[in-house]
Amino acid sequence: MRPDWLTHRFHVLVVRFGLPLVRLHDLRHGAASLAGAAGVELKVIQHDLGHSSAVTTADTYWTVFRELAHQAVAVTAGLLRTHARFRLRLEAASQA
């Protein structure tokens, strides 16, 4: 069996079923990104992909989904608003 047999077979099936043209290796990136989005720890993803360094996993295989980036901004903004309201109440209480 040739080393690239599985890659070739995957490509044949993708074309046959009219799927988006992605490489078999691209599925590793997708799996890492989905696992990260699901909250799986980076070290676990690193181990699953067989990387010696979590930096490789994070920098090369992990995509931040736009929706998650927006959620992070919204959560941070909410935290800042809560903190600001708390500070205003403290200041008002200290002046009363």
30-83: per-residue pLDDT in tens? 999 999 989 999 999 999 999 999 999 999 887 777 887 788 888 889 888 888
Q: Is the pLDDT of residue 93 over 90?
A: no
Do 33 and 2 fall into the same domain?
Answer: yes
Q: Where are the alpha helices (DSSP H) in 1-96?
A: 5-16, 26-37, 42-49, 54-56, 66-95
Q: What's the CA gap between 14 and 54, in Å, rounded?
A: 31
Model pLDDT, residue 45: 95
Domain total of the chain = 2
Higher pLDDT, 88 or 16: 16
**Structural domain of residue 27, as residue ranges?**
1-63
| pTM, 2 dp | 0.61
Alpha carbons 57 and 42: distance in angstroms, whole number: 8
Residue count of the chain, please give it: 96
**Do 7 and 49 lie in a common domain?**
yes
How high is the pLDDT of residue 3? Answer: 81
Task: Find, among 67, 70, 69, 51, the residue nearest to 59 by Cα.
Answer: 51
Q: Give me the pLDDT at residue 8, please.
A: 95
